[in-house]
Amino acid sequence: MKIFLDGRFVKEADAKVSVFDHGLLYGDGVFEGIRVYNGRIFRLDEHLDRLFDSAKAIMLKIPMTQEELVKACCESCRMNKVRDGYIRLVVTRGVGNLGLNPFTCAKPTVFIIADKIALYPDKVYRKGIELITAATQRNHPNAVNPAIKSLNYLNNILAKIEAIHAGTIEAIMLNTQGNVAECTGDNIFVVRGGRIETPPVSDGALIGITRGVIFELAAKLNIPAGEAHLTRYDLMTADECFITGSAAEVVPVATVDCRPIGGGKPGPVTLQLMAEFHKLTRSEGTPIGKK
């Protein structure tokens, strides 16, 4: 495998960053996880817009233009023959001194991995996923704002550990008010009274690219959709519930803290959105080009 690292492609064995990189020392950096379908990168521009917004929020100047990053992503896929897979694009603060001061870092590190993707097991798409509520809360927006897709994922990892210890694979995270924010790596939606609803970003959700696609599909299908504050009660009593993410796509939720949602199996709106999402991913995207 060839990895894009600071402007050039290197062998996997040579794709190394320094122990003095603040991405490693402090989780100081930003990233994106992007899907490739059928030789096309899905919503690449939206991912890059979010990357630049995340970088701006942490005062990190990405040493490449958006066009250069598009080219590097496409080339990473071509070189590694990734026509269906996953791109991990990472920008760290770069190599600096020991000490928090990010301004000792001369130049941000940029790397791109294009690889296969590890998906959720097939069963969750057929039967629905079981969710638990984590005791670990989503960061307060006045701490690291959850809208920033930063390398600082420990909070989410702690919630993920809770999910795995509870015998499942994904957890719901509440914000400090006790409202539902999102899951550890996925946004969450309910369907109730024929309406699709998801927590507002201000409740601690990432501005998910897949989340945005759900709003587009809902408009196309004439299903009312919008943001709403949601509690655990709202999830438990919803007609349907599903989670979304670039890796996960659209996953039906079977149970929330052991309460079956709707019929305890994927509901009609969720199934329709899954099918439409699948169609969309195969009909658009930035072509990786030939080689």
Least gap, CB of 54 to ligand PXG (angstroms): 11
What are the helix (H) ranges across 58-152?
66-79, 122-127
Ordered DSSP codes for 171-236: EEEE-TTS-EEEESSSEEEEEETTEEEE--GGGT----HHHHHHHHHHHHTT--EEE----HHHHH
Please state the separation of Cα 285 from the chain's center in Å. 17
Q: Which is nearer to ligand PXG, 20 or 125 (CB)?
A: 125
Determine whether 61 is an active site residue.
Answer: no
Is residue 156 a contact residue for ligand PXG (CB under 6 A)? yes
Is residue 92 a contact residue for ligand PXG (CB under 6 A)? no
Segment interacting with ligand PXG (CB under 6 A) among 52-60, 181-189, 225-233, 253-261: 181-189
Is residue 211 a contact residue for ligand PXG (CB under 6 A)? yes
Q: Which is nearer to ligand PXG, 44 or 105 (CB)?
A: 44
- Tell me the three state secondary structure of residue 258: coil
Is residue 72 a contact residue for ligand PXG (CB under 6 A)? no
Segment interacting with ligand PXG (CB under 6 A) among 1-9, 163-171, 195-203, 245-253: 245-253
How many CB atoms sit inside 10 A of residue 45's CB?
11
Least gap, CB of 266 to ligand PXG (angstroms): 19
Residues in the interface with ligand PXG (CB under 6 A) total 15
Least gap, CB of 223 to ligand PXG (angstroms): 19
Segment interacting with ligand PXG (CB under 6 A) among 62-70, 101-109, 190-198, 209-217: 209-217
Is residue 186 a contact residue for ligand PXG (CB under 6 A)? yes
Q: How far apart are CA 97 and CA 105, in angstroms?
A: 7
Segment interacting with ligand PXG (CB under 6 A) among 16-24, 53-61, 202-210, 259-267: 202-210
Q: How far apart are CA 204 and CA 137, in angstroms?
A: 10
CA dihedral 213, 214, 216, 218 (to 10 degrees): 170
Q: How far apart are CA 226 and CA 127, in angstroms?
A: 26
Amino acid at 261: I
Contact positions toward ligand PXG, by CB under 6 A? Answer: 33, 156, 182, 185-187, 206, 208-211, 244-247
Active-site positions read 149
